[in-house]
C-alpha cells in the first residue's frame, strides 16, 4: 500500500536519478543510499527546500546547484589543490625551458569535473 508521501518521494528520486544519468561522474555520490539520504537531510534541514523545488519544473537546476553546495568543501579543497598543481607545472615548464615563445591554438579545453561543479553551482569562477 502506498503512503501519502510516496508519489512525491518517487518524483524526487526520479529527479536525482536523472542527475546521475546526466553525468555519472559528477553525481556518482547520489547512487549511494547513504549519500542520497545525507543530501536529502541537507535539503530539508539547511536549505528548507519545498516539494516544488525538488520535484517541479525547475528541479533539475535547483538540485544540481544544491548538489554543488552540498559538496562545496570538497570542491574548494580540490580546486585549491588543482590551482597549486597548475602553478607547480607552470613553474617547472618555465624553469626547465619547455615553453615556447609563441603559442598557437588553445590547449586543455576539456572541462574537469571540478570545473563543471563550480560552473553549475551558480558561483563565478576565479
pLDDT in tens for each of the 126 residues of the chain? 345 568 888 999 999 999 999 999 889 999 999 999 999 999 999 999 999 999 999 999 999 999 988 988 877 776 777 777 777 777 766 555 555 555 555 555 577 777 777 777 766 555
Q: Please report whether residue 55 resides in a domain.
A: yes
Q: Please report whether residue 61 resides in a domain.
A: yes
Domain shared by 21 and 64, yes or no: yes
Report yes or no: 51 and 95 within 8 Å, Cβ to Cβ: no
Domain shared by 11 and 66, yes or no: yes
Grid cell 549511494 in the structure block, residue: 32
Q: Which three cell numbers stand for residue 43?
A: 535539503
- In this predicted structure, what is the pLDDT of residue 2? 47
Domain shared by 64 and 13, yes or no: yes
- In this predicted structure, what is the pLDDT of residue 119? 74
Q: Structural domain tally of the chain?
A: 2
- In this predicted structure, what is the pLDDT of residue 118? 74
Q: Please report whether residue 58 resides in a domain.
A: yes
- Whole-number CA gyration radius for the chain: 19
**In terms of residue numbers, what domain contains 41?**
6-70
Domain shared by 20 and 55, yes or no: yes
Whole-structure pTM value = 0.60
Q: Please report whether residue 37 resides in a domain.
A: yes
Amino acid at each position: 500500500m502506498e503512503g501519502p508521501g510516496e508519489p512525491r518521494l518517487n518524483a524526487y528520486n526520479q529527479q536525482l536519478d536523472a542527475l546521475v544519468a546526466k553525468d555519472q561522474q559528477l553525481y556518482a555520490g547520489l547512487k549511494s543510499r547513504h549519500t542520497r539520504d545525507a543530501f536529502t537531510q541537507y535539503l530539508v534541514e539547511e536549505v528548507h527546500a519545498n516539494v516544488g523545488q525538488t520535484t517541479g519544473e525547475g528541479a533539475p537546476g535547483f538540485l544540481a546547484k544544491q548538489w554543488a553546495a552540498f559538496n562545496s568543501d570538497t570542491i574548494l579543497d580540490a580546486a585549491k589543490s588543482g590551482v597549486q598543481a597548475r602553478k607547480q607545472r607552470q613553474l617547472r615548464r618555465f624553469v626547465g625551458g619547455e615553453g615556447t615563445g609563441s603559442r598557437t591554438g588553445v590547449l586543455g579545453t576539456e572541462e574537469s569535473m571540478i570545473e563543471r561543479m563550480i560552473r553549475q553551482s551558480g558561483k563565478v569562477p576565479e
